[in-house]
Amino acid sequence: MFSCPIPISDYPSVLLSHGSGGKLTQQLIQKIFFPQFQNAFLEPLHDGAIVEINGIRFAFSTDSYVVNPIFFPGGNIGELAVNGTVNDVAMCGAKPLFLSCAFIIEEGFAMEELWRIVQSMQGAAKKANVQIITGDTKVVDKGKGDKIFINTSGIGIVGKERNISPKNVNVGDKIILSGTIAEHGIAIMSMREGLQFETEIQSDTAPLNDLVETMFSASNNIHVLRDATRGGVASVLNEIAESAHKGIGITEDKIPVKEEVTGACEILGFDPLYIANEGKLLAFVEKNDAEKILIAMRQHPFGKNATIIGEVVDEHSGVVVMKSKIGGTRVVDMLSGEQLPRIC
């Protein structure tokens, strides 16, 4: 028994920021979880683990959803829980097949709302072509939960010839973003803040597994795939830069953001680069194959606004640098505090 590796003087208790996907989440993973659960498969900066069983490579991923509010423009917690885990499995280069689903429900939660959520989950599973095959329900006393929390875990098979790992990132790799960013986070925050816009901003929650299959049909030279959820595009890029020990350069005006989202970000004081997406991925691909992967993506409904936003560079290792719209460059750092709690 050793003492707690996060000095009590720094963080005697868990903060909201420990769950935000930023620096403190990384600290928690690297100091508390990783040293204990050490094994060959556990990669803290992956969306899931890949294991080989009887010669077949499986991807396995889990996520709990605690989004507040549970119903929001463009979706609800149930749909999000299915799409989120489907995406985490897909980001391992795997074809998701089966999901589990576990509910923690607060006593007094409306049966009708549970029913709506369960219906959405089944609808989302159907769209994503996965099956929810096992589940669990727990109920906690009123005031000891918050309406409903949902955990989904997913299993998929990793196709042969596919090898997704930050280790494969090379200088020159192109970075593709699959579409416009920051919609999920802004949809949630607008609702919490009671903001109304002329055009309602909807969550982009979507299953990305079919888009991933489309990308692999174009080329197997995809080195890293990540969906840009908690912490947004900026956090994902920082994590990859760090784990790949490479520099990353991106160009601000290549990053697609819907006009109303830009407006909402200005009102709310947010940088869209740090806002959660639930239907957007980042791909690091071999430079010579970037164009054909991009063309394939653009033919898919969830990739029609795909664009190359930057590349891996042979300088500033571990650091993400952005060429800004007004000229000049700035470092895009990892989020250190809490920007948006309970976004997913």
Give CA angle at 33 (32, 39), nearest 5°: 135
Judged by CB under 8 A, does residue 149 bind a copy of itself? Answer: yes
| Among 106, 213, 260, 289, contact with a copy of itself (rule: CB under 8 A) | 106
Take residue 200 and report the two structure tokens written for it: 């309602």
Nearest approach in angstroms of CB 228 to a copy of itself is: 16
Q: Euclidean distance between the first and final Cα of the chain, in Å?
A: 34
Judged by CB under 8 A, does residue 9 bind a copy of itself? Answer: no
| Among 98, 159, 168, 170, contact with a copy of itself (rule: CB under 8 A) | 98
Please check whether residue 109 is in contact with residue 147, taking contact to mean a CB–CB distance below 8 angstroms.
yes
| Among 30, 45, 51, 192, contact with a copy of itself (rule: CB under 8 A) | 51
Collect all residues with Cβ–Cβ distance below 8 Å to 260 and sequence separation of at least 6.
197, 198, 199, 201
Q: Which stretch binds a copy of itself (CB under 8 A): 54-62, 212-220, 243-251, 270-278?
A: 54-62
Residues β-bridged to residue 176: 283, 308
SS3 at position 97: strand
Take residue 154 and report the two structure tokens written for it: 């997913």
Is the Cβ of residue 148 or residue 265 nearer to a copy of itself in the bound state?
148
Which of 282, 343, 333 has its CA nearest to residue 26? Answer: 333
| Among 30, 45, 73, 122, contact with a copy of itself (rule: CB under 8 A) | 122
Question: Whole-angstrom Cα distance, residue 339 to residue 17?
Answer: 8
Q: Which stretch binds a copy of itself (CB under 8 A): 140-148, 187-195, 204-212, 243-251?
A: 140-148
Judged by CB under 8 A, does residue 39 bind a copy of itself? Answer: yes
Tell me the pairing of strands 131-140 and 94-106: parallel
Nearest approach in angstroms of CB 105 to a copy of itself is: 5
Residues β-bridged to residue 251: 323
Burial 149-159 (b: 16+ CB within 10 A, else e): bbbbbbbbbbe
Judged by CB under 8 A, does residue 146 bind a copy of itself? Answer: yes
Which of 73, 317, 68, 60 has its CA nearest to residue 195? Answer: 73
> Using CB under 8 A as the criterion, what x/- string covers residues 155-184 for binding a copy of itself?
x-x---------------------------
| Among 30, 62, 170, 251, contact with a copy of itself (rule: CB under 8 A) | 62
Is the Cβ of residue 137 or residue 317 nearer to a copy of itself in the bound state?
137
| Among 70, 91, 121, 248, contact with a copy of itself (rule: CB under 8 A) | 121
Q: Which stretch binds a copy of itself (CB under 8 A): 132-140, 172-180, 254-262, 293-301?
A: 132-140
Judged by CB under 8 A, does residue 195 bind a copy of itself? Answer: no
Is the Cβ of residue 67 or residue 175 nearer to a copy of itself in the bound state?
67
Judged by CB under 8 A, does residue 193 bind a copy of itself? Answer: no
Question: Whole-angstrom Cα distance, residue 9 to residue 19?
Answer: 19
Residues β-bridged to residue 149: 104
